Structure 1
Amino acid sequence: MTEQEPPELPRGIALAWGVAANPQRGPKREMSVERIVDAAVELADAEGIGAVSMAAVASKLGFTPMSLYRYVSAKDDLLLLMQEEATGLPPESHQDLDGWQAQLRALFEAQVLVYLRHPWMLSLPISGSPITPNSSSWLDAGLAALEPTPLTAEERVAVALSVTGHARWYGTVLAGYSDSARSSGLSPDEVSAREAALFDRVITADAYPALRHAIDDGVFVSTADPFRFGLERILDGVEAYIAGLDRGEPHRGESEWVDVEPAELAGDRRLREARKAVREAEKALRAARKLERQSLREAGERLAKAKKPV
Structure 2
Amino acid sequence: MSVREDERAMSDDDAPALPHAVALAWGLAARPQRPPRGELSTERIVEAAVQIADAEGLAAVSMSKVATSLGYTTMSLYRYVTSKDDLLELMADAVQGEAVLPPAADAEDLARGVDPGASGAPDGGGWRSELRAWLLTLAGIFEAHPWITEVPISGPPVTPNALRIVEHGLRALRDAPFDDEEKIGVILMGTNLMTGYGVVEQRLKRGDASSDVGAAMLELVTPEQFPYLRPLFERGSYAGTDDLDTSPELEFAVERVLDGVAHLIATRASGEPPANEADDVAAENRRTQLYRTDKKVREAAKRRREAEKKLREELKRERDVVREAEKKLLEAERKAAEQAAKV
| TM-score (structure 1 length as normaliser) | 0.72
**Any idea what the Cα deviations from partners look like across 1:220-253, whole Å, max 9, x if unmatched?**
3778822211111111111111101000124569
Q: How far 1:103 moved relative to its partner?
A: 1.1
- Distance between the aligned counterparts of 2:47 and 2:130, measured in 1? 30
Deviation at 1:63, TM superposition (A): 1.7
Corresponding residue for residue 313 of structure 2: 291
Change (3 A) 1:8 1:253: farther
Between the two proteins, what is the percent identity of the paired residues?
Answer: 39
Counterpart AA for 2:215: A
5+ residue gaps in structure 1?
A: 182-190, 260-282, 303-310
* Greater displacement, 65-74 / 42-51: 42-51
1: CA distance between counterparts of 2:310 and 2:239? 32
Aligned residue among 149, 155, 160 for 2:176: 149
Unaligned stretches of 5+ in structure 2?
Answer: 1-13, 105-115, 118-124, 283-304, 325-343
Q: Distance in 2 between matches of 1:150 and 1:83?
A: 32
Conservation of the 8 A alpha-carbon contact between 2:21 and 2:87: yes
Per the alignment, do residues 234 and 92 of structure 1 end up closer, same or farther by CA in structure 2, a change over 3 Å counting? closer
Distance 1:230 1:198, change over 3 A: farther
Superposition deviation, residue 46 in structure 1 = 2.3
1-structure distance, mates of 2:267, 2:128: 17
Provide the rounded CA distance (Å) in 2 between the counterparts of 1:237 and 1:60: 47
Q: Specify which of 191, 204, 212 is matched with residue 222 of structure 2.
A: 204
The amino acid across from 1:56 in the alignment is K
> 2:274 matched to 1:247?
no
Aligned length: 264
Provide the C-alpha distance between the structure 1 equivalents of 2:276 and 2:19, rounded to a whole number of angstroms. Answer: 33
What is the aligned-residue RMSD (CA, Å)?
3.6
Could you say which residue in structure 1 is the equivalent of 2:255?
232
Distance in 2, Cα, partners of 1:90 & 1:39: 19
* Structure 2 contact 146–201 (Cα < 8 Å) conserved: no
Q: 1:218 to 1:81 in 2, by over 3 A?
A: closer
After superposition, what is the alpha-carbon deviation per residue over 1:96-144, rounded to whole angstroms, capped at 9, x for unaligned? 3361111121122222122222122122233321111111111110011
CA gap 1:118/1:218 in 2 versus in 1, 3 angstroms: closer
After superposition, the C-alpha distances for 1:20-58 in whole angstroms (9 at most, x for unaligned) are 12248xx94432211211111122222222221111111
Letter aligned with residue 271 of structure 2: G
* Mapped partners of 1:301, 1:39: distance in 2: 57
Query: Equivalent residues in 2 for 1:129-278 (5 A)?
Result: 129-180=156-207, 194=212, 196-215=214-233, 219-220=237-238, 225-250=248-273
The higher radius of gyration belongs to 2
The worse-fitting range, judged by mean Cα deviation, of 230-239 and 159-168 is: 159-168
Residues 93/221 of structure 1: CA separation in 2 closer, same or farther (3 Å cut) = closer
CA distance in 1: counterparts of 2:239 and 2:74, whole angstroms: 49
Taking the aligned partners of 1:56 and 1:301, their CA distance within structure 2 comes to 56
Distance in 2 separating the partners of 1:285 and 1:10: 56
Matched, 1:79 2:88: yes
Quick one: distance in 2 between partners of 1:298 and 1:47? 45
Q: Distance in 1 between matches of 2:86 and 2:319?
A: 60
Amino acid at match of 2:181: E
